[in-house]
Amino acid sequence: MEVVKDPAEMQRKAEGWRREGKVIAFVPTMGYFHEGHLSLMREGRRRGDVLVVSIFVNPTQFGPQEDFERYPRDLQRDLRMAEEVGVDVVFAPEAGAMYPPGFQTYVEVKDLQEHLCGLFRPGHFRGVATVVAKLFNIVKPHVALFGKKDYQQLLIIEQMVRDLNMDVQIVGLPTLREPDGLAASSRNAYLSPEERKAALALSRSLKRAEELFSNGERRTERILGEVRSILEADPLLQVEYVELCDPRTLEGLRGEVGKGALLALAARVGTTRLIDNTILGEVDSAEDNAQGQDPQG
Ligand code: PAF
């Protein structure tokens, strides 16, 4: 496995592979790997002749009051894990190489960022779209893999790829969970044992919503109310949002919901912000793109 830091060198390598007719699979990450990252890499390994993983804690997607400085980092540990999964190249640039002095071009996906996390993290998705566009230009992948835990991010990247005619297939894979239900996230490393326990309310509330839905409940107010009451019962937990929305546009759904509606939530556990989501009525399976659901049943 090779580690490449220079964007121009990464581009030369990618160009070489393309000329040889090799399929390039790509997993963009901010490092501090967990099982979710590894599952994306394993799928990338299956889909590509070469597998590139990027590790870059992208400063432009963090707000001024957010956790950029304390975001967990351990490059040596990540490199060992990547090697075990069979990654060919880890692309790990310095911030100065990605955003040299004078940098001034950004990518913004207008409407999809006006919902859910976008309302609480101004500028976040502009930073994500910009860095992902840059990474695609550097790594030149045929296929890129993302987790559905960051559902809004996945939708925004799909939209960017369509709108800007990017020649890359986007694959979304199901959220990886700990045995007790907690969605895998690098930020779980921040949680104290009590917070870790409190954080289980997120997946528990989603499970309860799925249960209500499968028992025939369709009223959004009833489903959202139940989810909120589970989250609010824990004093360590502060709800940021709980929304039922259209899985393609992220517009909020009112009245009644059908199969395929997205239930998404964000909450703070202590100072740690966690997100989770589920698609009502869907048995989560590895599928390409978060499309094809019918939010109104
Ligand atoms: O999901 C992430 O880890 C990041 O948002 C991404 C896609 C690597 C962009 O920095």
Distance (Å, whole) CA 159 – CA 126:
13
Straight-line distance from the first to the last Cα atom of the chain, in angstroms, rounded to the nearest whole number: 47
Per-residue confidence band for 287, with pLDDT thresholds at 50, 70 and 90 = very low
Per-residue confidence band for 134, with pLDDT thresholds at 50, 70 and 90 = very high
The pLDDT value recorded for residue 78 is: 98
CATH architecture of 2-173: 3-Layer(aba) Sandwich (3.40)
Percent of the chain with pLDDT over 70: 95
In angstroms, what CA-CA distances link 104 with 60, 96, 165, 253?
A: 12, 13, 21, 37
Mean pLDDT (whole number) for 153-168 = 98
User: Ligand 1, residues 91, 150, 173: which to mutate, most atoms within 8 A of Cβ?
Assistant: 150
Mean pLDDT (whole number) for 98-103 = 98
Helix H segments across the chain? Answer: 7-19, 35-47, 75-85, 95-98, 116-120, 124-139, 151-163, 193-198, 200-214, 220-232
User: Ligand 1, residues 27, 30, 52: which to mutate, most atoms within 8 A of Cβ?
Assistant: 30
Ligand 1 mean position, distance from CA 129 (Å) = 9
pLDDT value at 267 more than 80 = yes
Mean pLDDT (whole number) for 24-36 = 98
Mean pLDDT (whole number) for 168-189 = 97
In the chain, where the domains are located: 2-173, 186-279
CATH architecture of 186-279: 2-Layer Sandwich (3.30)
- State pTM to two decimals: 0.95
Atom from ligand 1 closest to the CA of residue 58: 10
Query: Which residues form ligand 1's pocket by a CB distance below 6 Å?
Result: 28-30, 58, 61, 128, 131-132, 150, 153
Contact assessment for residue 262 and residue 277, using Cβ atoms and an 8 Å cutoff: yes
Give how far the C-alpha of residue 273 lies from the chain's centroid of Cα atoms, to the nearest Å. Answer: 14
Question: Which structure tokens are listed for 65?
Answer: 């009051």
Domains 2-173 and 186-279 share a fold: no
CA angle 211, 215, 220 (to 5 degrees): 75
